[in-house]
Chains A and B, each alone.
Chain A
Amino acid sequence: MNRDLLRHHPGKTQAHIGLVFLLLTAGLISLAGTYWLYSLEPRLKADAKTQATVLAQSQSWILADTLLRQSSAERTSELNETMDEILVLTDPNTNAPFVSGIRIELDSSLAESDDNRILMRGDTSCTECFTSDIPLYSKTSRELLGIARFFSSSAFYQQLRDEVRLKFSIAIIAIILFLSAAWWMIRKLLQGITLSVRRQLQILDTLPFPMFVVNNDLQRVYLSNSNAKEQFLPVESNAQQPLLQLFEDPHDYEVLLQAHQLQHNIDSYECNLRTRDRKPYVALLSSTQVKFPQGNAVILSIIDITLQKHAEAIITKSEERFATVVDSLEDLVYVTDMDTHRILFMNKPMRDLFGNRVGEICWKTLQQGQSGPCNFCTNDKLLHADGSSKGVYVWDYQNTITGEWYTCRDRAITWIDGRTVRLEAASNITQLKTIQLELEKAKEAAEAASLAKSNFLATMSHEIRTPMNGIIGMVKLLQHSKPRADQSEYIEAVSTSSEQLLLLLNDILDLSKIEAGRLELELQPFDLEQLLHDSIVLVQNSAHQKGLHLEYSLTPSTPTILVADKTRLRQILLNLLSNAIKFTSQGHVSVQVAGEMVSTDTARIRFTVVDTGVGIPEPMSERIFDEFTQLDSGVARRYEGTGLGLAICKRLVTAMGGKIWLEHPGKEGSAFSFELVLPLASGESSLKLTEETTSVSSIVPRRVLLAEDNRINSLVAKHLLEQNGHSVTIAVNGAEALTQLEHADYDVILMDLHMPEVDGIEATRRIRSLADEKKSAIPIIALTADIMQAEKEKCLAAGMNGFLAKPFRPEKLEEIIAKTLQPDAELQGLDTSRAQD
């Protein structure tokens, strides 16, 4: 990194200041030593010497007085004594004598010889002592009599010098310590600054973008981080315009230069730069002027936006594509903020219709006369309580002015900035709506037609069943009237034809009910094995007549007490068995039943009816379950049938939630399977099943009131009942039945429903409202050719106790009479849909 900018960086400064402190300390020590040696110590010494001199002078007068003695010996003796006295004087501070020695040189006038001129006491050879020469004058003549040299002790001086030197040294050490502490603090401070600077430099080097620090006129590069060095060519600091080579276009450099000559910062300036690898480099330049100790500088930071620009270009293209697609839609598409209701986006059809309203409140600009959010604000239908999207909310809307219909698909989506917004796409469905309305009308018409057809069929069923009841009844009577052999053959032919006609009638009626969706399943517990047995018994005669072997099998693990519409289930089985017998000339027909538990209370039961008949060719396998479909015309001619049986089977199985199919088509023989998932019967249901399976063992003669307006039917019923020992009274309508009941007692009433004046329902109501409790409680059994469930329910509601569909078999009539007259008998619903099977 170019660190020109930091030539005076803290590390060097630290060393410089350390050197200054070292020199300062050394200078201080030298100065202190010099001051001590050349000033303070001599001064102390001079002061000590002065003190010694003053002391010596104070003692000199005593010696001068002694010199005036006449006798030399006396003078000498006295001088010695005086000197001794002086020598014992002691300094209390140092506990040392003031004077170590005294030497007196006498004037020649006082000395007898030169040997006597010098007198000495004490230590006069002391080299460290201060010497003071004191003249000794005569008090009287003022003559100079001698010179006394005092050798004053330097103890006081030495003590004083030591004390001062100690204090001086302490002061110097204290100053040095202070300077050291100051240096230490400054060093720590500088270390901190150095560390901080290093960190800053490291941070600069780790910056993810290139950065230069240049002088204010861009003529000198102070600093560049490693990112800048890696990406760009070396910047020549000594070049005239070192940054110029960075720019692909010199104009960009000029812009930057002019900005800084005017002392303007640049927040962001987009330009193309030249890199080491010569790859395209789009940069966002920013420059900031800063003040450094060495002068102003400019920090030039570079952000690589090449990828961003590339992405922007891609996004722009993407947006263009998006706009092309969205704008080309015929749908009105717009986006609004769910909180502020501001429009965030409108596609072209939307803009064409309303103008560009982006940024405006939707209910103010897209609607008129609204004081708040309108019906188009479907926010509550788009979000769950936790803020998650509910998905698409579709609703239709008709413009009250244009009358055009729109279907609106609203959805909460996440907008580009992260907030949740409402997207609505409104499609013009006026044409579709028109078609839909027409279809609805057509549907209603079709439903009306279907209803009419059903009504027609129900009516026709009733109208056909009524004479059929007469025919079948009369045939039965004839068969019991001991006809001749040829008559019996004719009667049998009539019976067979009437039976086939009834079968055909029932099939058509069933198909009609299924197609009209009016098939109602009567779920009840039943014994599967019993049902199989009964079904086999019903077709057994037919099989035996053709010499076919008929059998059924039930796997041991198959649950047998189940819940289903057993009548319909038996109908399916009988249809399949009848077909199998019909199309099999020799061999056998079998029913195989297998079941498995699919849960704790449901079982999957598969029924397979197998025969050894002609089989069904492959091409027919797909259409075999269609209405009125038989193998071919030849077959149809050979085998009688309407072609409705399998179609009814398929619809019944489907209505029960199962499926039916043809096994291995194309092979000889055929096998039809169907599968149902049936619930297991509970204990209570099983008990009911047991009760229902009771049967009538013997016929008890009863007094029967028969209300029937059809003369033939009343004749048939009357004779059938009378054949079994019952006494029968006939009433032609409900009113007459009431009259008959008032005048006589009856055990049971057989009530036709459709009668003139008072019908069977009304008559029953009136009977149940009679005051006579016995008569009002008389059992009433409905006899009707109308076998619709609704009719049966009407009977129940009116208070009837039993229901028998016409045409009926004589044994069925006896059975229901017997059951109805049993104590605690309730409504006895016999087979209503497949009467006379």
Chain B
Amino acid sequence: MLRRWLLLPLLLIVSHQTALADDAAQRRVLVGLKLFPAVLAASEALGPENTPPNIKVFIVYQDDENRAEEFAEILQDIGEIKGTRLIVKSLPIALLPQYRGDPPFGLFIAQRNEDDVQMISDYGRQHNVITFSPFRGDVERGILAGIVISDRILPFINRQALNTLPVGLKMFFLKVAEVYEP
């Protein structure tokens, strides 16, 4: 009993730190969610001459389906990008390898384990998916796009992942983006 009471302050501190980290991650996810459509819009695959009727975007998550759904709804509220309707779906990361449908145009990581980043990166390269992670370090691990937050919030592009795409991003966009050269 005594041991429990002694552990309680530690648990409170750990939970508080975890909560703070969660808040920061949450804010990065929200910021990333605002920038993610700009990345999609910068794709040269979308343009006046090539306007698909819709594009599909996945919000992948680890286990918080509700949160992922909330994000998906926020993204869905944009409606369309460059005249192309946006279809947003949430999907657990664990199910992504087994996903056999048409690959999405873009993939937004809303919640992940670090171990899953490589798998998502690989998935994006294999299926020419614009992968986007708001989490720090994921672009360096192979994710195509992310955010860099300093005095400004700028898009963060992995040059190597970008080069694997059959259709790249517009140079105008890359002017303002931070590019990671592996």
10 smallest A-B Cβ distances: which pairs?
A: A142-B37, A143-B41, A53-B151, A135-B176, A50-B151, A142-B38, A147-B176, A144-B38, A144-B173, A54-B151
Return 10 A-B CB contacts under 8 Å, by A number.
A107-B172, A108-B172, A109-B48, A132-B152, A133-B176, A134-B152, A135-B38, A137-B38, A141-B80, A147-B175
Interface presence of B34 (CB below 8 A): yes
A142 touches B80 (CB 8 A): no
Question: Closest Cβ of chain A: how far from B179's Cβ, in Å?
Answer: 13
Interface presence of B154 (CB below 8 A): yes
Interface presence of B68 (CB below 8 A): no
Contacts of A105 in B (CB 8 A): 172, 175
* A133-B176, A143-B37, A143-B41 as given contacts; A57 in contact with B82, CB under 8 Å: no
A144 touches B34 (CB 8 A): no
Interface size, chain A (Cβ < 8 Å) = 19
Complex Cα spacing A134 to B150, Å? 12
Interface presence of B57 (CB below 8 A): no
Task: Fill in one digit per residue for A77-108: 1 if any B CB lies within 8 Å of its CB, else 0.
Answer: 00000000000000000000000000001011
Task: Fill in one digit per residue for A645-688: 1 if any B CB lies within 8 Å of its CB, else 0.
Answer: 00000000000000000000000000000000000000000000
Please name the residue on chain B nearest to A140 by beta carbon: B78
Complex Cα spacing A54 to B152, Å? 7
Contacts of A142 in B (CB 8 A): 34-38, 41, 78, 81
B176 touches A144 (CB 8 A): yes
Please name the residue on chain A nearest to B47 by beta carbon: A109
If over half of A's interface residues share one DSSP class (helix, strand or loop), that class is named, otherwise mixed; here it is mixed
A143 touches B82 (CB 8 A): yes
Question: Closest Cβ of chain B: how far from A45's Cβ, in Å?
Answer: 13
Contacts of B37 in A (CB 8 A): 141-143
Contact of A144 among B42, B48, B150, B151 (CB under 8 A): B42
Contacts of A140 in B (CB 8 A): 78
Chain B CB within 10 Å, residue with most, of A105, A142, A147: A142
Chain A CB within 10 Å, residue with most, of B35, B150, B172: B172
Complex Cα spacing A109 to B42, Å? 11
Contacts of B150 in A (CB 8 A): 50
Contacts of B82 in A (CB 8 A): 141, 143
Complex Cα spacing A132 to B82, Å? 27
Complex Cα spacing A143 to B81, Å? 8
Chain A interfacial positions (CB closer than 8 Å to B): 50, 53-54, 57, 105, 107-109, 132-135, 137, 140-144, 147
Contacts of B35 in A (CB 8 A): 137, 142
Please name the residue on chain B nearest to A51 by beta carbon: B151
Task: Fill in one digit per residue for B155-182: 1 if any A CB lies within 8 Å of its CB, else 0.
Answer: 1000000000000000011011000000
Question: Closest Cβ of chain A: how far from B77's Cβ, in Å?
Answer: 10
Complex Cα spacing A797 to B81, Å? 187
Please name the residue on chain A nearest to B172 by beta carbon: A107
Chain B CB within 10 Å, residue with most, of A54, A105, A109, A143: A143
Contacts of B34 in A (CB 8 A): 137, 142
Complex Cα spacing A133 to B42, Å? 17
Chain A CB within 10 Å, residue with most, of B41, B173, B175: B41
Complex Cα spacing A50 to B152, Å? 9
Question: Closest Cβ of chain B: how far from A580's Cβ, in Å?
Answer: 165
B175 touches A141 (CB 8 A): no
Contacts of B172 in A (CB 8 A): 105, 107-108, 144, 147
A141 touches B42 (CB 8 A): no
B81 touches A135 (CB 8 A): no
Complex Cα spacing A137 to B176, Å? 11
B81 touches A141 (CB 8 A): yes
Contacts of A133 in B (CB 8 A): 175-176
Contacts of A107 in B (CB 8 A): 172
Question: Closest Cβ of chain B: how far from A793's Cβ, in Å?
Answer: 150
Complex Cα spacing A132 to B78, Å? 28
B154 touches A135 (CB 8 A): yes
Contacts of B151 in A (CB 8 A): 50, 53-54, 57, 132
Complex Cα spacing A54 to B34, Å? 19
Question: Closest Cβ of chain B: how far from A421's Cβ, in Å?
Answer: 102
Q: A133-B175, A143-B42 are in contact. List 11 more A-B contacts (CB 8 A).
A: A50-B150, A53-B151, A53-B152, A54-B151, A57-B151, A57-B152, A141-B37, A142-B35, A142-B81, A144-B38, A144-B173
Contacts of A53 in B (CB 8 A): 151-152
A141 touches B176 (CB 8 A): no
User: In chain B, residues 69-84, which have Cβ atoms closer than 8 Å to a Cβ of chain A?
Assistant: 78, 80-82
Question: Closest Cβ of chain B: how far from A531's Cβ, in Å?
Answer: 158
User: In chain B, residues 16-69, which have Cβ atoms closer than 8 Å to a Cβ of chain A?
Assistant: 34-38, 41-42, 48
Please name the residue on chain B nearest to A56 by beta carbon: B152
Contacts of A108 in B (CB 8 A): 172
Complex Cα spacing A640 to B3, Å? 175
Complex Cα spacing A133 to B173, Å? 12
Please name the residue on chain A nearest to B36 by beta carbon: A142
Chain B CB within 10 Å, residue with most, of A53, A54, A135: A135
Question: Closest Cβ of chain A: how far from B167's Cβ, in Å?
Answer: 17
Complex Cα spacing A53 to B172, Å? 20
Contacts of A144 in B (CB 8 A): 38, 41-42, 172-173, 176
Please name the residue on chain A nearest to B169 by beta carbon: A144
Contacts of B152 in A (CB 8 A): 53, 57, 132, 134-135
Chain A CB within 10 Å, residue with most, of B35, B38, B151, B155: B151
Complex Cα spacing A143 to B79, Å? 13
Complex Cα spacing A142 to B150, Å? 20
Contacts of A141 in B (CB 8 A): 37, 41, 78, 80-82
Question: Closest Cβ of chain B: how far from A590's Cβ, in Å?
Answer: 164
Contacts of A54 in B (CB 8 A): 151
Contacts of A50 in B (CB 8 A): 150-151
Contacts of B81 in A (CB 8 A): 141-143
Complex Cα spacing A627 to B57, Å? 188
Question: Closest Cβ of chain A: how far from B95's Cβ, in Å?
Answer: 27
Contacts of A109 in B (CB 8 A): 48
Question: Closest Cβ of chain B: how far from A114's Cβ, in Å?
Answer: 12
Contacts of B78 in A (CB 8 A): 140-142
Question: Closest Cβ of chain A: how far from B104's Cβ, in Å?
Answer: 17
Question: Closest Cβ of chain B: how far from A439's Cβ, in Å?
Answer: 136
Please name the residue on chain A nearest to B177 by beta carbon: A135
Question: Closest Cβ of chain B: how far from A239's Cβ, in Å?
Answer: 79
Contacts of B175 in A (CB 8 A): 105, 133, 147
